[in-house]
A and B are shown apart, each in its own frame.
Chain A
Amino acid sequence: MVQLTNIFSALVGNPLLAQAAAVGEGGIPWLTLTTFGPLLGILALLLIPRDQVQVLRNVALLTSLGVFAVSIGILVLFDPSLPMAAGEAFTFQLTEGPYEWIPSLGVSYALGVDGFSYWLVMLTTFLMPLAIWSTYSSVHENVKEYMICLLFLEVGMIGALVATDVFLFYIFWEVMLIPMYFIIGVWGGAERVKAAATFFIYTMLGSILMLLAIMYVYFQAGVQTGTFSFLYTDILAADFSATEQFWLFAAFFLAFAIKVPLFPFHTWLPLAHVQAPTAGSVILAAVMLKMGTYGILRYAFPLFPDALKTFAPYIAVLSVIGIIYGAIVALVQDDVKKLVAYSSVSHLGFCVLGLVAMTPQGISGAMYVMLAHGIATGGLFLCVGVLYERRHSRQIADFGGVASVMPMFATFFMIITFASAGLPGLNGFVGEFLSIMGTSQSHFLWFETPFGFIKPENAGSGYGVYELSAMTDVAIGSSRQAGPEITAFIFTIFATSGVILGAAYLLWMFKRVMFGSVVHDEIRTMPRLSAREIGVLVPIVLMAIFMGVFPKYFLSRMDPSIHQFLTYMDQNVTEANTVVVEPLDPTWVPQGSMIDLAKERRNER
């Protein structure tokens, strides 16, 4: 096999394949298998005739299940207790490469996962089979192309998450657009063409400016270090002046903010969500939006730590506006799907707020919101799909009293709705709580305005490490200042009110759709959930409960990465940190979640 690959690579004249073949002897390339596994399914689909609809569906489902099975390998093999590389922002495991891909440009094929990305990979591979399974009854035309699009989308999403070469990341990032464009545009609702074009152009506008910024960063890093390379670690080694950081951060952040979408860049989202078919909405909300927040965390923040200090309060303001605005607009929607779409704007606001808070709780909260929102909103879209297939309407007014006809569906829908609304014990609560808590402890979400909030003399100019020590009461007293916390507190108040609004619009929607007396006769004849639909919804419900009850399982595996990230951010801010910080042991291994650690240290005192 290796020889075959060698011969092939000699034929096509590409060194990459030869290197890949050489590595194949060592270990199993888990990440490559996960990323390009769906391509095998696509090849199989291409060979199956178009009219064998059921075979096409089954092959696609089996492929995505196979990819999920392979990705379990990542979950098992990823070892969060491995020591973190000192002076780096992230420590990648299961790395593959770097293999030279385009040597003259310094582009390589390099994959790796850390505590952030492997959870998102798991989320993707977990939801993909469910999304494909949900299309069995909803898509009947051009099934072959639809399945190819979905699997191709999976390649793009996983690839963007595991790429550790910026160029490779960008390729996957753009590749995601193509299948999603067709999914919305061909299989979508009445206004699908407009929705698809808007989605494509918006995302393209942001990402192409990011491409220019990537090139700038690449050249700057090349000039400074002497090696022109797109490898993430090489790019991270570059230093930038304040002006450069400002503009580069703006270019990167705009691309990611459009994808998130952060208010006021969210206008494409309700359109795309409402018009997309169910599986498209599920993937769009659950995974593609997370690409934005993931990109912020992975690229925009660590590359430009100084610019983040400038932008953070403004980003926080936008997130809070997004939280409240999304919730209020969701409150007045007549269309269930649109309501869920606006709820995404609101929920992702918590995520970005947690990120810019730059505290351990904030980051872990943001990560948890990403996962929980993926599960809960994916579930909500699936539920809306179930309703739509029966009633061919998404208007809230067309429903009412569904619970009496479909009791089991009502239970699932209720659990998922509560999960999205953030009921304690379900997954939504953990993330939102941690984000809000992290925000309240943030020490640099301040900015000078005519109304006050003046920077105190020695407010923390660093990021997370200071917050960690403040949280564990090590540096309390001399360093804790009143100024910034007032702003952080104001952000917290607004964000918390967003939670209340979130409960309001979701529960009100649930009441109007599921309870009350049956007004429309069509409701009475609605069939109960089929076995397939139960099979689609049960994993989501179980996962929502599991994530709500055992958050530690997830959080403790992220914590080392969060800790390393914050340490890196703290060390790379140009201004000297004025607060005495407890020195960190680079080989520090967490015993539990960050919260447990804080409790332990308090008890020791």
Chain B
Amino acid sequence: MTMQLLSTLNTLAMLTPPQGAEFAAIVPGMIVTLVALAFILIDVFHRKGTPRDYLAYFSVIGLGVGAASSWYLWDGTLEAPTFFGMLYLDRFALFFSALACVSGALAILCSPAVLRSHRMDRGEYYLLVLFSVVGMIFMAASADLLSLFIAFEIMSIPIYVLAGFLREDSRSAEASMKYFVLGAFSAALMLYGIALIYGATGTTNLEMIAQNLYYLEGGEGQHAGFGLAMLGVLLIFSGFAFKVAAVPFHIWTPDVYTGSPTPVVGFMATAVKAIAFAGLLRVFVVAFPLDVLRGGFFGYGWIDIAFALAAFSMVLGNVVALLQNNVKRMLAYSSIAHAGYLLLGFTAANAHPRFFLHNDAILFYLVAYTFGTIGSFAVLSYFSRRGESVETFEDLGQLGIKYPMMGLVMGISIFSAAGIPPTAGFLGKFYIFRSAIDVGMQTDEFSFIGLAILGVLSSVAGVYYYLKVLIYMYMKPEKRAFRPLEHTGPKVAMVVCAVMTLYLGIFPARAIEITQESIIDFQGVSSAVQATLDLGQQALEARQAAE
């Protein structure tokens, strides 16, 4: 009774309309939405038969403004959720909205030539990407399971369509169908989980879920609702695991990656994974604090489930990728392995409130992964002419020699993905394994160090298949000649990705600082985590003062 009263009071307190500066919470999302809506109008007046490249460039500019707006809002964040308790405006959300915009812009740059060569130069394409980015921006900012789920669907549905955008290509249609059916299923699971959580706690607000779970857990005699809540947690976790493509929710990945248009795969592999991790962090850190839920699943917490998923994803992703001879399929399995590394970082950083600052490793890894992965997909896009696109390893023969710039970009991206210095990917892996080692040493739990060892060993297997790309590009004879899609877009994307990958690998200081600021400004956490964040804030200020 008390609990319900309390939650009602809290809810009432939160049901206030946004005022003044609080409107800033929707600025990045609204910018991208307005650009997308403008496109609907512009496309009406488009003269038939002329190329639609200008739409691509407009959307890149729009996404650039969206990303820049995050930068302007960086110092004006809010402590409490706004918009009737639906959205946070913190640096964590801003970081991910910028990342989604950048990833979308890079993917769009690769697109026009590919679409034209497939005779699918349609304005809807850019619209769908933009709407997906809108969903991503709001998902990272969600403070409520409902807004989270709606954002989740706004993000996902355009991508189901984009996967099947080359409708004359049967594999593209197959990819779209598979992705849609499985994705809808996982969304349903997630919604079911949300319903169970609501049934158990009487609220969908993340912070209040945490409070009410605390009452439900109530020492020895647990409330019957606690079991329901635990089932809900499990279902929500599996929904996220599907989006990040973690084993055993990875089955869709290889087929969808192989069939979808190459630029879309670049977008799907980076932005969706990044935002799914943002949502995962937000929901599980804010709503399901471990000190309440530890041991909820027959003695195990969700952290142990994440641990197991990390181990399986790293090993299975890397081992199965060894056996592939289609480049996109190989990259699909390698993205499963990357999900494993990220889950390793997630597990280590959230094992205990005092390690929470280690979440910056995930953020840095996602940035490094975004630039590295889109770089390699941009190269593949450049060679994906209708009917003669580069697909298998043999198709890559001598490409590096014939097109030195493509070879260089692919090399940098591949070395980054394999985690070899001086690229951003190395630093990302270093950061992730560093947090695992630190946690393992401080808690005297060998399991984390063991997982880190498993991670580096599987990444050696990873090196083998990544090298295969370079072996074919530089050392094997040419099998057939490919005509590249002469277009500036993919070239620009390639240069940006390669330069950023090297820059983040050699001068990472500022980027690391940004990830740390994003984590320190994470809102909605429990008091134990907040204490860690305050310590981190002090350390950061001391370091900045010293400089």
Contacts and interface: CB of A to CB of B under 8 A. Distances in A.
Interface of A: 12-16, 100-105, 142, 145, 170-171, 174-175, 177-178, 181-182, 185-186, 192-193, 196-197, 200-201, 204-205, 208-209, 211-212, 215-216, 219-220, 223
B463 A16 contact: no
10 contacts: A102-B508, A102-B509, A103-B543, A105-B431, A185-B474, A186-B474, A193-B475, A204-B420, A212-B433, A215-B437
- Identify the 10 closest CB pairs spanning chains A and B, nearest first: A13-B510, A171-B421, A208-B456, A215-B437, A174-B421, A185-B475, A14-B507, A205-B460, A193-B475, A104-B512
Contacts, number: 100
Contact of A219 (B401, B422, B441): B441
A211 B415 contact: no
Contacts of A15: 509, 547
B151 interface: no
Contacts of A197: 464, 467, 471
A15 B463 CA distance: 33
A171 B441 contact: no
Contact of B422 (A171, A215, A220): A171
A110 to B, nearest CB: 15
Give the one of A16, A205, A211 with max B CB within 10 A.
A211
B509 A211 contact: no
Nearest to B462: A204
B498 interface: no
B463 A192 contact: no
A177 B543 CA distance: 35
A196 B420 contact: no
Contacts of B401: 142
Interface residues of B, number: 38
B509 A14 contact: yes
A470 to B, nearest CB: 40
Contact of A201 (B438, B441, B456, B464): B464
Contacts of B422: 171, 175
A99 B513 CA distance: 17
B459 interface: yes
Contacts of B437: 212, 215-216, 219
A101 B456 contact: no
A220 B441 CA distance: 8
Interface of B: 401, 404, 415, 420-422, 426, 430-431, 433-434, 437-438, 441, 449, 452-453, 456-457, 459-460, 463-464, 467, 470-471, 474-476, 507-510, 512-513, 516, 543, 547
A439 to B, nearest CB: 35
Nearest to B509: A102
A151 B114 CA distance: 38
Given A14-B510, A201-B460, A212-B452, A104 B543 contact: yes
B464 to A, nearest CB: 6
A177 B421 CA distance: 10
Nearest to A170: B421
Contact of B456 (A13, A103, A211): A211
A370 to B, nearest CB: 25
B395 to A, nearest CB: 17
Contacts of B431: 105
Given A178-B420, A204-B463, A205-B457, 9 more contacts: A15-B547, A103-B509, A104-B513, A104-B516, A174-B426, A182-B474, A196-B475, A209-B456, A216-B449
Contact of B463 (A103, A105, A200, A212): A200
A192 B467 CA distance: 13
Contacts of B453: 209, 212
A26 to B, nearest CB: 20
A185 B474 CA distance: 8
Contacts of A100: 509, 547
Contacts of B415: 178
Contacts of B508: 102
B72 to A, nearest CB: 17
Contacts of B467: 181, 197, 200-201
A259 B470 CA distance: 23
Nearest to A174: B421
Nearest to B452: A212
A313 to B, nearest CB: 27
B474 A204 contact: no
A182 B475 CA distance: 9
Give the one of B426, B438, B474, B475 with max A CB within 10 A.
B475
